[in-house]
A and B are shown apart, each in its own frame.
Chain A
Amino acid sequence: MANKVIVETNINGDPVELLCEPRQSLLEVLRDVLELTGSKEGCLTGDCGACTVVIDGRPVCSCLMLGVEATGKNITTVEGLASGTSLHVLQQKFLEHASLQCGICTPGFLMSSKALLDRNPNPTEAEIRYALAGNLCRCTGYDKIVRAVTDAAAALAGRTRPAHGTVPSETASGMAGEMLAKGEAK
C-alpha cells in the first residue's frame, strides 16, 4: 500500500506534481521534497512566521498547512519573488535599509510584506506593523524592516522617499499617536 499521495499544485508560476506523505506539512514538502529551502522553520506552530508563503494572495504559515492541501493552489515562495535576476522592490529595499541582520526571518517578512502591499499599496506605519505582527525578528527591533516596507510602497507608487536615515521617526506622532487616538476616540 502506498504511503504517498500525488499532489498537483502551482508553485512560483510553474505547475508542479509531487509525492508526499499525508502527514507532511507544506513547509516540509517545500523544503525536503522540492528543495525550496528559502522558507524557514522557526517554530512549527505558526508563531514565528519564518515559513510564510503567499497562497492565492494571502500570507500563510506553511508549517500549519499540510502538503496535500496545496492541491489546486497558487503558491509563491521567497524563491519566486524576484523576476529572473531583477529583485522585487521589497528585496531591494530590505537591502538598502539594512533590514536584515542574521536573515533567517527575512523570507517570511518579505512574503508577508508582499501580501500586504498587494492588497494595500499605501499602508500606514500602524498597518504595516499590524500586517507583520505574525512574523518574529529577534535581531532588528523591526525599525529598519518597517522603514523598508514603507519605502517599497512609495517606490511602487512612483513616489520618491529620502534615502538612509532621513525617513522621519513616526514614533511619537505616527504609529503610537495614531493608535492612541483610535483608543481615545472610543
Chain B
Amino acid sequence: MRPGAPELKGVQPMATDQSREFKIIGTRPIRPDGVEKVTGRAKYGADYALPGMLHGKVLRSPYAHARIKSIDVERARRLPGVKAIVTGADFPEVKGVMAQVGELIVNTHYLSLNVMAREKALYDGHAVAAVAAVSKHVAEEALELIEVDYEPLPPVMTAEEAMRPDAPVLLDELRTRLMAHRTDPGSLEGPDRPSNVPGHIRFERGDLAAGFAAADFVVEREFTTAAVHQGYIEPQNALAVYSADGHLTIYCSTQGAFNVRTLTASVLAIPEGNIRVVPAEIGGGFGGKTTIYLEPVAALLSKLSGRPVKMVMNRAEVLRATGPTSGTKARVKIGAQRGGKITAAEVWLAYEAGAFPGSPFAPGAMCTLAPYAIENLRIDSFDVVVNRPKVAAYRAPGSPASAFACECVLDELAEKCGIDPIEFRMRNAAHEGTPMPAGPPFKKIGFAETLEAVRRSAHYQTPLAGPYRGRGVASGFWFNGGLQSSAIVNIHSDGSVSVVTGSVDIGGTRAAQAMIVAEVLGVAVEDVRPVVGDTDSIGQTDVTGGSRTALATGMAVFEAAQDAIAQLTVRAAKLWDKKPHEVKFDGGVFRSVADDGQIITLRQLAGRLARTGGPVVGRATVNAGAVGAVGNAFATVCVDVEVDPDTAKVRILRATIAQDVGRALHPDYVEGQLQGAVAQGVGWALNEEYFYDQKGVLRNFGLLDYRMPTCLDLPMIDTILVETPNPNHPLGVRGVGEVGIVPPMAAVANAIYQAVGVRMFELPMSPPRLLRRIFENRNVTVEERASAAG
C-alpha cells in the first residue's frame, strides 16, 4: 500500500481523512478558470470557428403529430451557397439499445428518431431536415424552400389524455410493462396492444388498509405540474469536422463528452473510436445537455459537404425541441395519527415523457416520501408518451414533482395534528437504517439535521408579521450519482501540478479538483492547473450531472494525487539510497523515517525527476457505483411570501435552504448550487410553464413569455451548509448540485396557504391560477369579481 494513502476501492468503506484538519479544503480561493470567464476569453461552444466552416440550420415540424408523406429538397439545393441537405432518409436505422446516460436510461432507437424524424413528426419542433450553407442566413433561406407534405394526425398533449384507452397512439410498438426497479426491463402488464404508457413501476410494503385504519386524519389530494425547461442561457451547439479518413471531431458544449461520443456513434452507426469529442466551456446544462441533438446532424452535413459544419440553436428551437422536464399528475393519500406519526401513504404518479419513452417516472417514485420512515406504503408511477418534445434530465429529475405533491399533503396533515410543520417532519424523519421507498436502507444521512438547522435559523426564529404574508417549509431528497471518472496528475519540473479530468466544469468544479490536489500534495492551490480533457486525452468519464462531479471525479483526483505521492516517495528514496517505506510524506515534504535529517520538499524533488527516472504522472480511475449507492442528499427550505390581494402575484420575501453537503470543498460554489436550485424552484413554483394551443403548437417559445426569475423576483437566498460526512467518500463529500430544487415548490405553496388561506394543487401558482383559487374560496368567480369591480 502507498505510504500515507488510505486504500480506496470503489465504494467500499475506507479509512478516510474525514476527521483531519484541512488546510485548503473548506477555503474560498478564486476559481482557476475565473479570469478567462470575466474577460470574455473563455470559449463556449458557439465561439468556435474553423476555416471554410459552413453553418447548418434545422427545419422543424409545425405539427404536433403528423405523418411525413414526402420531403422535396430540390429547390433548396439549387439556392446558391447551399452545400448539403439531410433528411431522415440519410440516417441509418438504429436498433433499440438501452444506454445509461447520467441518471437517465436512453433507448438509442428513439434517440435516433428524436435527432431526425422518419415516418412521423411527433411534436411541434421535431427535426425533419437540415441544411448546411455558406452563412446561417442562406441556410435559413434554404429551409423555407424545402417542401414537406404532412398528413396531420390528432395530437395527445397530456398524460391524462394519453392514458385513456381510446387515445390516439404515438408509437405502435409500445406496450405497458410493469417494472420492479429502475433498470428492470419489466413484464407485459395488461393486454398485448399498443399503449402510450410504456412503463409502470410499483413499490409496496406493509398493509395499507391497516395503516389508514390506524390514522386519525387522512388527506387525499390530486396535483398537476406544468412542463418546465432547464433554461440554460446557452443554446445547444455543435461544430463537426468529418475528415477523409472517416474520423470525426465534434466541438460542442455538453455535460458529458463521452456521452456525446457514445450516442453519436450509435445514431450514425460508426465506431466510437472514430469520434473525438472536444468539450467546450458550457453555458449551463441542469441535465438538459446530457444527451445529443445537433451533433449527428452536423456530422452528416460535414460528411456530405467535406467542410466543417457549425450548428447553433436559437431560443425557440431550444424551447420547442430540447428536453424540458415532465408535466405530471399526482394523486396522494396520506394518513397520520394525532401525535404526528404517519401511518400509511398511497401515491400515484404519471410523468409525461414527451414523444418517446423515458421520463423520470422511476426516480420520481424512488424519491417521494424518501425523507420519512413509513411502514405502510404503496407508490405507483407511470411513464407516458405525449406529443411534446422528449424530456431530458432536469436537476434531480422526477423528484421535484412528486415531492411537491407529498410535501403539500404533509403540510395539511401537520396542520390537522396541530403540530409545527418542521416538528411534524422531524417525528417521521428517516435516519440511518430507514428503508427507502425502493427498499434498501439509508446509510448515514443528515436529513434531520437539515430540519434542525432551519428550525434554529434566524429566519425561522423571526416571526413573520403583516397581512397576506405567510411562511412555508418543505423538504426533499435526491441521490448522488456515482459512475465512472478518470484523473491524471502531472508533476512538473518547477513543482507546479496539472490535473486532467474528463468532467466539464459547469459551476466551479475545476476549483474543487485543484483544491483536492493541493490539499493532498501540500502545495498552493495556485500552483495546481486543472484541465478538462477531450475524449482522447483522458479515460472514460461520465456526465457532469447527477450531483457526481465534485464527488466521484473528486475521488479519482484524490487517488491520482495519492498515486503521484507514492511515485515521488520512491524517487526520494532513490535519492537517499533508501527503501520507499523508509520515506514518509507530510505537508508537501518528504522525510526520512530514520532520524538522519534527510528532507526534501515536493518542489525540490520535482526538479530532480529527470535524474531519478523521468516524469511523474499520478493516475486513477474510479467506478463510484450505481446512482444512489455512493451517497444521498437532503434539503429543507423555508420561504416567506407576500401575496398581492388584487393581482395574486406572489413575492418571495425571504428564503433559506439547509442542505446536507457532506463536506463543502469550496463553500462559495456549494452555496451557489443551493441558491441556484432554490431560484429554479421558485420559477417552477410561480411562473414557468409550457403553453400549447389546441393543435399542440407551443405558443411561448421565447424568454419573454417563458418567464424565468430575474434578480428583481428574488431576495437574497440564505444557505445553511449541514456537514454530515459521506461515509463512502474519502473526504466526506456529498453531491450538492440537485436536491435544492426539490423542496421550493411545496414550500412556496405552503407559504401561500398561510398567507391567503388557499391550498394550491397546481404548478405554476401564477397570478391567474391563484386568483381563481382565492375567489373560489370566497365563492365568487373571477368574472363576477370583475363585473363587481367594473
Contact = CB atoms under 8 A, between A and B. Distances in A.
Nearest to A163: B28
Interface residues on A, range: 35 or more
Contacts of A169: 716, 718
A101 B34 CA distance: 9
A46 to B, nearest CB: 8
Contact of A37 (B43, B462, B653, B711): B43
A143 interface: yes
Among A81, A137, A143, the most chain B Cβ lie within 10 Å of the Cβ of A143
Contacts of B28: 98, 164
B contact patch SS: loop
Interface string A78-100: 11011000010001001111101
A130 B714 CA distance: 11
A170 B438 CA distance: 42
A1 to B, nearest CB: 14
A158 interface: no
Q: Is the interface of A mostly helix, strand, loop or mixed?
A: loop
A95 B38 contact: yes
Which of the listed residues A82, A110, A139 has the most CB atoms from chain B within 10 Å of its own CB? A139
Interface in A135-160: 135-146
A81 B38 CA distance: 9
B383 to A, nearest CB: 27
Nearest to A77: B40
A106 interface: yes
A137 B715 contact: no
A143 B717 contact: yes
A132 B717 CA distance: 17
B704 A171 contact: no
Contacts of A171: 653-655, 715-716, 718
Given A98-B28, A170-B716, A171-B715, A48 B233 contact: yes
B4 interface: no
Contacts of B41: 38, 79
B44 interface: yes
A102 B35 contact: no
Contacts of A34: none
Interface in B634-693: 640, 642, 651, 653-655, 666-669, 671-673, 675-680
B312 interface: yes
A36 B37 CA distance: 14
Contact of B712 (A32, A81, A101, A129): A129
B467 to A, nearest CB: 11
B31 interface: yes
Interface in A151-186: 164-165, 169-172, 174-176, 180
B138 to A, nearest CB: 11
Residue of B282, B651, B653, B677 with most partner-chain A CB within 10 A: B653
B234 A42 contact: yes
Given A104-B284, A141-B714, A40 B44 contact: yes
A26 B232 CA distance: 23
A44 B716 contact: no
B659 to A, nearest CB: 13
Interface of B: 28, 30-31, 33-35, 37-44, 46-47, 49, 137, 230-235, 281-286, 312, 314-315, 462, 506-508, 640, 642, 651, 653-655, 666-669, 671-673, 675-680, 702-704, 708, 710-712, 714-718
The 10 closest A-B pairs by CB, nearest first: A38-B40, A104-B283, A141-B679, A98-B668, A141-B675, A103-B37, A47-B703, A101-B507, A142-B711, A78-B40
Given A104-B234, A107-B40, A180-B642, 11 more contacts: A38-B40, A40-B234, A47-B315, A47-B702, A78-B40, A102-B282, A104-B283, A132-B710, A135-B710, A136-B231, A171-B653
